[in-house]
Structure 1
Amino acid sequence: MTMIQLAYYVEVVKQHHFTKAAEKLFVSQSTLSKAIRALEKEFQVEFINRRTKDLQITEDGLVFYEYATKLLEYYHTQTQELYRHLHCANSTLTLGLPPTAGLIYFSSLLYQFREAYPETDLKITEITSKAVRDLVDEGSLDLGVVIEPFSDSKFFSQTVYSSEAVLLVSKQHPLAARRYVEFRKLEPERFLMVTPDYMYHDLVLERCKTAGFTPNIVFESSQWDLLLEMVANDQGISILPKPLVDKVYSDRVHQLHLKNPEFPWALSVIYRTNKFLTVPMQRFLKLCGKAQWPS
C-alpha cells in the first residue's frame, strides 16, 4: 500500500466516477483501476462493485475510505510539521566575523536578521579572516566573513561590501598635503601594521612587494584603534580600510588614496561548495545582498 494508491482511491470515491477522478488527478483511467485493484488484492476484499452499471462502494470500501482519508490527512499534517521543523524551528546559524571590520559593518545586518527571524539561534564567533576560512572548511561555521581577494575552489564567496584601503599619516606628516601617493614612495616610511594572523597583513605586504620594496615594519598590533592612535601621534604610517577610518578616526588622521598599485578592499561571505544551504544560511545571504551599506 502506498500513499499515492490511497490518494487515487479517495478521489474515485469522492468523484464517484473513474473518468472524473482520472481527469482530476491527471492520470489515465487504467492507472486508477490498476491502483485500486492492487489495494483490493493486498487486503483480499472488494472495495468497488464493478458488476453494476453505476459505481458502487462496498461496505468494506466505505471502511477503507474512512481509513484512507484519515491517513492522508495525517500524512499531510505531519509532512508540513516536519518541513516547518527542518526549516524554521530550533534552527541555528553559526557565523565567523573578523574583529572590528566584521562587527562594525555587520552590526546593522545582524540586528535585522535577529529581528526578522527570532526563531533562529544566531551564533557569532569573532576571529581573524585566516581562522574564519579554516573553521568554515572544517564545518565548525556555516558562514564566514573574509577579506578579498579570496580564491579557493572549496568555497563559494559572495562579496557584500566594497571600498578601498588608504594610507594614513598624521596631520603633521609631509604627505598630509597630498590626496594620492604611489606605493613606491612609501619605502622609507615606518609602517605600523596589524599582526600576521590577520589576512589583511598579507595583503599589505603583497602590495608593497608589487611596488618593489619590503616595508619597514616598526610595530604590529591586533588593536586597530591603537594603530590609528599611533598614526595620529606621528609615530609612523599605516594602511587601513577607509570605511573603518571614516567611522572611528577620520578627524585625527589624514587619508591618501593609493596607486601603482591601487588597493581595493572588500568583505565577502564564504561557505563550502559541498555545504547544504540551510534556510537560515539562505536568508542571511539574501539579506546581505539587500543590505544598504554606508558609503
Structure 2
Amino acid sequence: MGELMEWQQLVYFKEVAEREHYLQAAKALAISQPALSRSIQKLEEQLGVPLFEKRGRGIVRSSYGDAFYTHAVKILEEMEKAEKHIRKMKDPQYGEITLGFMRSQGLQHIPRLLKQYKEIYPSVEFSLNQGSTEELINQLREGKLDLCICNMDQGVEGLTWRKLWTDQLYVYVSDTHPLANEEQLALHQIEEEPFLLIRPGYSARVMFEQIVEKYGLEPKVAFESEDMMTILGFVAAGQGIALLPSLETLQMSHVRSIPLIEPTERQIGVAWREGSVRSPASDHFIEQLVTYSTKFGE
C-alpha cells in the first residue's frame, strides 16, 4: 500500500491547480516555492502520474490533474464542513443531545424542561426517545442515548446516575367513585378495587409490585396497558382505579388523583455511560436539569 496522502498536500495542490503558477501559489500559501514544488512532486510520486505539464514558461493541469482537482475540491469542502460541525458540537450553545425519558416524565417535566432550555439555547438539537426504565438503560448502554431520565433505585454497573426529583404514586379514581372526595387514601381502602395497571417493565409497575409484596396485598387486575392516557380513560369510565405517578400538568375530565397515606416514593434522575465522550451541550444540559430540579423541589 502506498504512503497515505496528507490533507495539507491537497490544500497545496488546489492552490497550484487554480493559479497554474508555482510562485503565485507559494506566496498565497505563505511558503517557499521550493517547499511547494517538493510537496507537489511527492504527491505525483504517490499517485504515480504527473498532475501538471509545462506550457511555455508556465504550467497547466494535466488530464490527471483535472480529474484529481475535482476530487480534491470535494474532499476539502467536506473537511471544512466536518470542522464546522465539530466546532458546533464543541459549543454548548449548539451541539446535539440524544435524550431518553420515561413516559410519565413526558407528560410534564420533559416538555417544560425543553421549552425552557430551547428558549435560551435555540440551536441545540434534541433527538428524543421514550420508554420504560429498562428499555432506556439498555439503549444507554448500547450508546443509542447520550442521557436518559429514569428511575434507578439501585446503581447500574457502567452508568452514572444523578438524582433530580422524587415522584410518588397517587390513586386515580373517577369523579363518581365513592372515594373521590377523600383527601388521602390508605391501601386497605382500595385493596378490593379492580386495578388498571401499567404493563410489566415500567417503573410505576415495579413500584406497584413492591407495594403489593410489602403490604401483602392480593390485587384484582382488571386491565393492563403501557399507555397512561388509556388507563386514565378507563378510570374516567369507572372501570377501575389506578396507581400512577403525579401528573400535575394533566387535566383529565372526570378523574381525581388522591395521595396515598403509605410512602410510595421513587427517585427520578439523569443517567449516562461512565467514560462516555459527551458533547459540551450534554454536560451543560445536565447542569440545567439539576438547576430545574432544585427549583422544582422548592
**Which residue of structure 1 aligns with residue 275 of structure 2?**
274
**Which residue of structure 2 aligns with residue 88 of structure 1?**
91
Letter in 1 for 2:260: L
Alignment of 1:126-145 (within 5 A): 126-145=130-149
1:161 counterpart = 2:165: yes
Percent of aligned pairs with the same amino acid: 23
1:102 counterpart = 2:103: no
Q: Could you list the per-position Cα deviations for residues 13-52 of structure 1 after superposition, in whole angstroms to 9, with x for gaps in the alignment?
A: xxxxxxxxxxxxxxxxxxxxxxxxxxxxxxxxxxxxxxxx
Question: How far, CA to CA, are the matches of 1:225 and 1:83 in structure 2?
Answer: 41
Partners of 1:183 and 1:208 within 8 A in 2: no
Q: Could you list the per-position Cα deviations for residues 150-196 of structure 1 after superposition, in whole angstroms to 9, with x for gaps in the alignment?
A: 53243222222334211112233232242222224433211001122
The count of corresponding residues between Structure 1 and Structure 2 is 213
Decide whether aligned partners of structure 1 residues 123 and 86 sit closer, same or farther in structure 2, where only a CA change above 3 A counts: closer
Decide whether aligned partners of structure 1 residues 83 and 223 sit closer, same or farther in structure 2, where only a CA change above 3 A counts: closer
Question: How far, CA to CA, are the matches of 2:143 and 2:149 in structure 1?
Answer: 14
**Which residue of structure 2 aligns with residue 47 of structure 1?**
none
Question: How far, CA to CA, are the matches of 1:142 and 1:271 in structure 2?
Answer: 6
**Which residue of structure 2 aligns with residue 264 of structure 1?**
265
Select 1:172's aligned residue among 154, 176, 182: 176
- The unaligned stretches of length 5 or more in structure 1 are 1-80
Q: Could you list the per-position Cα deviations for residues 210-265 of structure 1 after superposition, in whole angstroms to 9, with x for gaps in the alignment?
A: 111232111011221221121122211101112x1x322465223322133x1124
**Which residue of structure 1 aligns with residue 57 of structure 2?**
none
Decide whether aligned partners of structure 1 residues 208 and 185 sit closer, same or farther in structure 2, where only a CA change above 3 A counts: farther
Partners of 1:93 and 1:281 within 8 A in 2: yes
Letter in 2 for 1:258: L
Question: How far, CA to CA, are the matches of 1:248 and 1:120 in structure 2?
Answer: 27
Letter in 1 for 2:202: Y
Residue 149 of structure 2 aligns to a residue in which SS?
Answer: strand
Question: How far, CA to CA, are the matches of 2:154 and 2:260 in structure 1?
Answer: 21
- The unaligned stretches of length 5 or more in structure 2 are 1-83
Alignment of 1:188-227 (within 5 A): 188-227=192-231
Question: How far, CA to CA, are the matches of 1:289 and 1:172 in structure 2?
Answer: 40
Letter in 2 for 1:272: R
Offset of 1:103 from its aligned partner? 5.0
Q: TM-score, normalising length from structure 1?
A: 0.63
**Which residue of structure 2 aligns with residue 116 of structure 1?**
120
Question: How far, CA to CA, are the matches of 1:255 and 1:212 in structure 2?
Answer: 23
Question: How far, CA to CA, are the matches of 1:82 and 1:102 in structure 2?
Answer: 30
Question: How far, CA to CA, are the matches of 1:107 and 1:195 in structure 2?
Answer: 24
